[in-house]
Chains A and B, each alone.
Chain A
Amino acid sequence: MKLVIGIVRPEKANDVLEALYRAEVRGVSMSRVQGHGGELDRVETYRGTTVKVGLEDKTRFEIAVSDEFVQPAIDALCDGARTGEVGDGKIFVIPLERAVRIRTGESDQAAVTPVAK
């Protein structure tokens, strides 16, 4: 069991969702985050005030998967999120100690397996 965290461009988030869906990876959390990954700063001007946007909006995916779905999840994130420009994002894979499905109390492997219905 692993927790796959993908931080991607918000404008590519829908492409990532599509790719995950096609890879049959179910069970995804998505949140808006701000971050900086070494890309060039964007400049905005409001009347006389010029600012560099040091933190870019990003979308963070959290996907808990059984081991055989780790690679498909990573592939889907890469396929959906890549543009080739600096700022495409990062993927982190973390070992997952325990998972519990609240409704049934199922834990671990059963908890991260989608309900077959």
Chain B
Amino acid sequence: MNFSFHGGRVSGLLCVLPAREQSFLEDMKHFDFPESRSRKLMEVMGYDKHRLVESGACVSDLAVCGLQYLFDRGLLGRDDFDALILVTQSPDHFMPPTSNIIQGRLNLKQDLLCLDLNQGCAGFVIGLIEAFLLLQQESVRKVVLINADVLSRKTSPQDRNSYPLVGDAAAITVVERGQADVEIHASVKMDGTRNETLMIPAGGFRMPCTPETAALEDVGDHNLRAKDHLRMDGSAVFNFVQVEVPPLIESLLAEAGVAKDSVDYFLCHQPNRFMLQKLADKMKVPHAKIPMNVVEHFGNSSGVTIPVVTAFNLGARLTQEQFQVCFAGFGVGLTWSAMLMNLGPLPFCQMIQYPGGEQL
């Protein structure tokens, strides 16, 4: 389905990456697999390093670190936003909403709509849609969108289909009113019949965590995983992306009346380099227009990868220039989404480390 918005814009982007970095060569030690095949996996998928939180670190820790950084530097006023949207699949607790926890930890005002959204790899576009919808209210002048996940904590180190690519991160995107004559187009599709393609089977009410769900099982290819862990059907995800994403982007561009060539960058979710290369080929877009270097530097942090790919590749330029960008997120749900907008110049577009807030 299609959305269009008038008069909204992104006015700042901050990514928060864990300071802890782990290399694929370290990951390999946990795999029961010939080393030559692991090296092949590394080469084909583009694995190198990924950023993982220390055990115990939660989504609200990353988010509070980022917001405090912005408050301290005068990049965001603590009373200047009227809604706080958190998109995550790894909340601190089932209840209360983690957005309320963030509000409380920072002593934010009570006239603030706090909203948790359960979305994954498409969660940046979904969050932006929600933010633009809220901005249509008179009382909402500015929205803070937080995308954050610490899914490494739910990934088996002995599952080489998931662990080498996973990363943790948070991103804070400030969304506010802009010129009324500027239109933003978005398109979203969902298919719940394929909801098991990416899932954490245990830990909810359907299958509560027990000693049995914590037991590691050989799930083929000598990969060990428990029902408490994230499970990803890599082949099904690959087919899904190749089949569904290019037509979604084509139809969005047609709807907006924008030629593919006039899009400066396609800022896509970052599953791994392999899938993005194949996606670029399928879309017939030059690889230079689809940055695909996030997994090798930071890992795949679900809904945070679009902010990370943006800040990492275009951060400095976006503080000076404007680009026409197409965001595209795809994954859990299944959900696939794309949004076309003019991005920049932004007052800030940067990356910091957690803990400490040191600039990256």
Q: Do A and B come from one complex?
A: no
Chain B residues in the interface with A (C-beta under 8 A): none
